[in-house]
Amino acid sequence: MSAATEHRYNRLTWAEMNDAIAMQKVVILPTGSTEQHGRHLPLDVDVFLVESVCLEAGRRAPDKILVLPPIAYGLNRHHIDFPGTIHIEPDVFIAFGLNILKSVAYHGFTHLLLVNGHGSNTPLIDLIARCTTLETDSVCGALGYFGLAMEAFNAVKDTEVMAHADEFETSLYLHLAPERVQMDKAAADDDVRGKYVSSDSIYTNPVRFNDYWGRWTKLGVHGDPTTASAEKGRAIFEAAVSGLIDVATEWQNWPIAQRSDQHTGPVQSQIRW
């Protein structure tokens, strides 16, 4: 393997890493979680799905993409009533992710991406990306892979709610690793929803909050996984992978301009935030 053909960050030697830096690949950090996903899916859903999308995008476009090992844990206290869930405090998650990306920037990579697979990490990866850009000479963006696949999913879906352990996630898992899905245990459930308020699992209501799931479900599902299929999962996967390659292509060429300071007097440049 060489830097030109290897898409996995940790498979390169330090000498080969110099070549990858010279190529200015987009370095991707997948973020997920270890949390309950109903009775029919394993705890690794979020990290497995997002890493699979990122690795396949890298495999297809190794000249553009280099994929870091994922962060397998996230903000998850709201699922803690279900055995196996691992929760990371927001400040710890942000500091950890920022340390990873600042290390990557230190070595000379200039265009970085966080690709998220766990909804509750969304505000945290946004902060990590902002801080990375402001604290280094690199630029860092953040996105959820699921947004890249929504058009394709909407064309094949049978259910209304896309949220958690639902038709979307179950279909994608069935495509990637059907032997680990227990479809005989799949069942639908719904959160308490009002005109304006919903839980953090869906985005259709303007007011969202992060409630303990043990208050409203004994199943751990939000949505209906019973109509999931590997065929739907393939459509989701192909859309997410091709979309991520498009994102990386644009991001790799994103200009980093020189800053222009508009002060007319001296500033206290020694101040650090």
C-alpha dihedral, 120 to 126 to 129 to 133, nearest 10°: -160
- What ranges in the chain are assigned the alpha helix state H? 14-23, 45-60, 90-107, 122-135, 145-148, 150-156, 167-176, 230-252
What CATH number corresponds to the domain at position 212? 3.40.50.10310
Domain enclosing residue 235, as ranges: 9-252
pLDDT confidence of residue 68: 99
Please indicate, yes or no, if residue 21 is contained in any of the structural domains.
yes
CA–CA distance, 17 with 108 (Å, rounded to integer): 10
Residue 209 has pLDDT above 90, yes or no: no
- 273 belongs to a structural domain: no
Q: Is 77 a domain residue?
A: yes
Residue 266 located in a structural domain: no
The total of structural domains in the chain comes to 1
Q: What are 117-127's pLDDT values in tens digits?
A: 999 999 999 99
pLDDT tens digit string along 142-152? Answer: 999 999 999 99
In this prediction, residue 193 carries a pLDDT of: 83
Q: Would 270 be classed as within a structural domain?
A: no
**In-domain check, residue 261:** no
Tokens 């990122």 correspond to 54
Is residue 271 in a domain?
A: no
Q: What is the predicted pLDDT for the residue at 45?
A: 98
pLDDT tens for each residue of 2-57: 899 999 999 999 999 999 999 999 999 999 999 999 999 999 999 999 999 999 99
Q: What is the pLDDT of residues 99-108, one digit of tens each?
A: 999 999 999 9
Distance (Å, rounded) from C-alpha 187 to C-alpha 197? 24
pLDDT per position as a tens digit, 165-202: 999 999 999 999 999 999 999 999 988 888 899 877 77
In a domain, 1, yes or no: no
pTM (predicted TM-score): 0.96
For tokens 């340390």, name the residue. 99
Residue type at position 247 = V
How big is the chain by its Cα radius of gyration, in Å? 20
Q: Which pLDDT belongs to residue 210?
A: 85
pLDDT band at 133 (very low <50, low <70, confident <90, very high): very high
